[in-house]
Amino acid sequence: MKSAAMKDLVREVIVAPLDRSFLAFSHDYPYSYTGWHYHPEYELHLIQRSSGSFFVGTYAGRFEPGNLVLMGPNMPHMWVSDNSFSEREDRLFIHDRDMALQFSGTFAERCLRDFADATSLGALFEQSHAGIEFSASVSAELAAPLRRLAVAEGPEKLALFFTVFATLAADEGRRLLCPGLPADLGTRSARLNSVLQYIAENYNNPKLTCGLIAEREGMPLSTFSRFFEKNLSCSCLEYINRLRIYKACQLLMETQIPITSICYDIGYDVLSTFNRNFARFIGVSPSDFRHRRLKWRIEPGFPLSAAVVGKADEPQKPRYFTRNAG
């Protein structure tokens, strides 16, 4: 049975008609969808306040104010702020922490089709399936335009959208967070999105297997495995394990749910398997992660596996426990 505080990977339902326009807004932390969630829309996400840990697809790392990330459809994501940044004593609360810009694949396609000068954005939209983190200079440049987008109307709103994305496309300092990219935007992309959505909705089911997903897609397991790894540069099993472990990170940071309960809640039925995978992807055991994470010294841009445990007044270089979590 799931713990009372346990929440599944949630699909965010965006009610605006995003096939015709886009939605720009800011929100506090926590928010209805600040946990491990996904949605079929693209999202540009800016952190305005606090530092902490963020998770996008198969990547886990640290963030600070100015963290700016573009994500493609159905890419699970969350930002978890350190408790020390809370503006209230009785509960965790950070005012106006996030700025988000969301738009549908239909809107992106219409931009590319109807505006000849926007064709250069196609590569950016395609790269977003791997998650893109932008440079600090571009983030600082776009902070004010993104805030104006939240209140702009008419032609100014559309002009700001294209200004933002032209600046993003020109950012030579941007980096991909996850190793895989869809090979094209045709049938393969639609099938991949279907697979990722199904995994997102069922990752915490202990009966979920790659064979089950392959059968659902009408593909032999060997063919499905090659398809998945070609598109995401990791196996189907590794992807499922990462979703589970990153959800565990959220629960370890935000709750006091017993580790054994977290293990079962996220889809593992053997505690030793959970502990082994947690150490593989994060670099330490779940108990160490919960008790020592506030002492970790990790520069933004490093994965969580670059964690260093030490006293705050002892400068240390990152020590890599495992391979890059991205």
Same domain? For 112 and 209 the reply is no
CATH number for 37: 2.60.120
Provide the pLDDT for residue 258.
96
Residue that finishes a domain, picked among 176, 206, 226: 176
Does the residue 130 lie in any domain?
yes
Same domain? For 133 and 168 the reply is yes
Contacts (Cβ under 8 Å, ≥6 apart) of 174:
132, 133, 134, 135, 138, 168
Same domain? For 58 and 116 the reply is yes
Question: In the chain, how many domains are there?
Answer: 2
Average pLDDT over residues 296-301: 52
Same domain? For 61 and 80 the reply is yes
Same domain? For 193 and 170 the reply is no
CATH number for 193: 1.10.10.60
219-258 residue pLDDT tens? 999 999 999 988 878 899 999 999 999 999 989 988 889 9
Q: How distant is the alpha carbon of residue 12 from its chain centre?
A: 13
What backbone torsions phi and psi does residue 177 show, to the nearest 5 degrees?
A: -85, -35
303 burial (CB, 10 Å; 0-12 / 13-18 / 19+) is buried
Does the residue 232 lie in any domain?
yes
Same domain? For 136 and 192 the reply is no
Residue that finishes a domain, picked among 176, 201, 229: 176
Same domain? For 158 and 288 the reply is no
Whole-prediction pTM: 0.78
156-204 residue pLDDT tens? 999 999 999 999 999 999 999 986 555 444 445 678 888 988 998 899 9
38-62 residue pLDDT tens? 888 999 999 999 998 899 988 888 9
Same domain? For 141 and 250 the reply is no
Does the residue 5 lie in any domain?
no
Residue 51 Cα distances to 65, 88, 209, 243, angstroms: 6, 16, 35, 22
Same domain? For 42 and 150 the reply is yes
CA angle 106–189–246, rounded 5-degree value? 100
Does the residue 319 lie in any domain?
no
Radius of gyration of the chain (CA): 20
What backbone torsions phi and psi does residue 56 show, to the nearest 5 degrees?
A: -135, 115
Its domain, for residue 282, covers 187-306
185 and 126 in contact (C-beta within 8 Å)?
yes
Same domain? For 40 and 100 the reply is yes
Same domain? For 102 and 207 the reply is no
55 forms beta bridges with: 60, 78
Same domain? For 76 and 195 the reply is no
